[in-house]
């Protein structure tokens, strides 16, 4: 039976589309059982049927805890095996993370632990980095601080701007998200006491996505 994935979004939903495409072409043996947003106007919601959409305006709630509680109840009602944050722009609180601990993944456009938070492409350029990339990690209440499962790397080119770097990275970010979710839904991925485990072995460095779309151990010196 296909695994069940809930997706949290805030924006246009390009990573959600990558998940849907991976399901459609057989790279991901799963179904999206719900798309959940803190913005009722999020374009990502239009990518799935109305019955799979849940959205509330987070700012209409008196505090984050109440919004997170409603969101958590809605996600739980969908019965997902995994929850994927695909451009979800809010920090999830302790109670939400505890409720779905070990099943909650996020994709972030940097080579974590570098550049947590926003404006990652500009910050990589300002630092003079030779390479940039994206990471998929388990979610903890602290911003972009959970154990990293896998990364993809691209070179920074002469003349790159934040926009060109972001545009070149995005398709690689999409492949990374689909590959990690495929690992997760196959039962090969787990999180234990803040460590990533793959195939029953503790992962001491993030896996790397190669040009063929395979996740491999770190091979660089």
E strands, the chain, in order: 3-9, 30-37, 53-55, 82-85, 104-108, 131-138, 148-155, 189-192, 195-198, 201-203, 207-209, 215-216
Find the catalytic residue in 108, 132, 172, 174: 108
Query: Could you confirm whether 121 is annotated as catalytic?
Result: no
CA-only gyration radius of the chain, Å? 17
Take residue 149 and report the two structure tokens written for it.
């499962």
Cα–Cα distance between 18 and 23 in angstroms, integer?
A: 9
**Rounded to 5 degrees, what angle do the CA atoms 51, 56, 61 make?**
155
Phi/psi for 5 (5° steps) reads -120, 130
Cα–Cα distance between 161 and 12 in angstroms, integer?
A: 21
Query: Nearest-CA neighbor of 102 among 144, 138, 145?
Result: 138
| Burial class for 86, CB neighbours closer than 10 Å (0-12, 13-18, 19+) | buried
Catalytically annotated residues: 108
């Amino acid at each position: 039976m296909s695994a069940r994935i809930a997706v949290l979004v805030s924006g246009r939903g390009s990573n959600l589309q990558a998940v849907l495409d991976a399901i459609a072409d057989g790279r991901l043996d799963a179904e999206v059982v719900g798309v959940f947003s803190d913005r009722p106007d999020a374009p990502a919601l239009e990518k799935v049927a109305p019955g799979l959409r849940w959205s509330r305006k987070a700012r209409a709630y008196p505090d984050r805890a109440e919004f997170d509680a409603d969101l958590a109840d809605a996600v739980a009602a969908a019965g997902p095996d995994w929850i994927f944050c695909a451009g979800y722009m809010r920090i999830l609180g302790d109670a939400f993370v505890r409720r779905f601990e070990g099943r909650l993944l996020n994709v972030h456009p940097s080579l974590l632990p570098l550049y947590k938070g926003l404006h990652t492409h500009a910050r990589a350029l300002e630092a003079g980095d030779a390479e940039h990339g994206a990471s998929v990690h388990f979610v903890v209440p602290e911003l972009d601080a959970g154990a990293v499962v896998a990364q993809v790397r691209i070179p920074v080119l002469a003349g790159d701007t934040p926009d060109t770097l972001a545009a070149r990275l995005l398709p690689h970010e999409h492949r990374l998200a689909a590959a990690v979710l495929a690992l997760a839904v196959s039962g090969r991925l787990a999180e234990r006491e803040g460590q990533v485990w793959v195939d029953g072995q503790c992962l001491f460095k993030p896996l790397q996505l190669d040009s063929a779309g395979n996740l491999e151990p770190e091979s660089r010196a």
